[in-house]
Amino acid sequence: MGSLPATDVPATTRARKAAVGINLGCGPLARAGWINCDWRDLPGVDLICDITRGIALAEDHADFIAAIHFLQDLAYPQIVPALLELRRVLKPGGVLRLAVPDLDNAIRAYLDHDAGYFYVPDQHARSVGAKMVAQIIWYGSVRTPCNFEFVEESLACAGFRDIKRCAFGVTRSKYPVLASLDNRERESLFVEAAK
């Protein structure tokens, strides 16, 4: 007698499938256990893609996506279409975690004359105001500065729900690994949203 097809096996006896996570914009920080995506062909990158042209993955493919210090490098008109593409790739109930440099933190540091907040070395900018500008645009790579209100509205426009600010290294999702890619705590805003 043959074995039953997987669909006829009780759920309690089926092996659990591992959750699928995407590390979007991974750069040189590819991580084991993730689908590492970047627009450059770097060691460890599993999928080379330009988010503005779409991701070569099926609809409802991933349980979660981490896009750490990625969104701010897109031009303003590309933000919502990119978020729509990420939402397409997420499974229903899937979670997106974003980290972006927090414009509000930079403004507070500027108003407090806190030069130590900024990562920009004195040889590149000496005054607090010059450091703030260099950091906000990060030497020209940042195309869209972000704060929570902007990220929240952009996510809502793309159809995400349950949009919440999160602490560094802490996820509100059922996937603890989702916050493991966090970095640059001092300057970053962390946001999660569900499909």
- 89, 114: one domain: no
Phi, psi of 78 (to 5 degrees): -90, -15
User: What would the DSSP string read from start to end of the chain?
Assistant: -PPPPGGGS-TTTSPPPPPPEEEET-TT---TTSEEEESS--TT-SEE--GGG--SS-TT-EEEEEEET-GGGS-GGGHHHHHHHHHHHEEEEEEEEEEEEBHHHHHHHHHTT-GGG----TTT--SHHHHHHHHHHGGGT-SS-B-HHHHHHHHHHTT-EEEEEE-TT--SSS-GGGGTT---GGGEEEEEEE-
- 132, 190: one domain: no
- Residue 16's pLDDT is 57
- 12, 85: one domain: yes
> Looking at the 3D structure of the chain, how many domains does it have?
2
User: How many angstroms separate the CA atoms of 188 and 169, rounded?
Assistant: 11
Q: Which residues of the chain have pLDDT under 70?
A: 1-16
pTM of the model: 0.89
CATH number of the domain at 162, please. 3.40.50.150
* 112-149 pLDDT per residue, tens: 999 999 999 999 999 999 999 999 999 999 999 999 99
- 14, 42: one domain: yes
- 118, 156: one domain: no
Provide the residue range defining the domain that includes 159. 6-101+146-194
- Residue 17's pLDDT is 78
Kindly state whether residue 1 falls inside one of the protein's structural domains.
no
- 45, 84: one domain: yes
- 127, 82: one domain: no
- 18, 97: one domain: yes
Residues 6+ apart with CB under 8 A from 96: 64, 65, 67, 83, 86, 87, 90, 155, 160, 192, 193, 194, 195
- 34, 63: one domain: yes
- 25, 108: one domain: no
Q: Judge contact between 72 and 143, C-beta under 8 A.
A: yes
- 121, 69: one domain: no
- 35, 127: one domain: no
Q: Judge contact between 162 and 87, C-beta under 8 A.
A: no
Q: Judge contact between 64 and 178, C-beta under 8 A.
A: yes
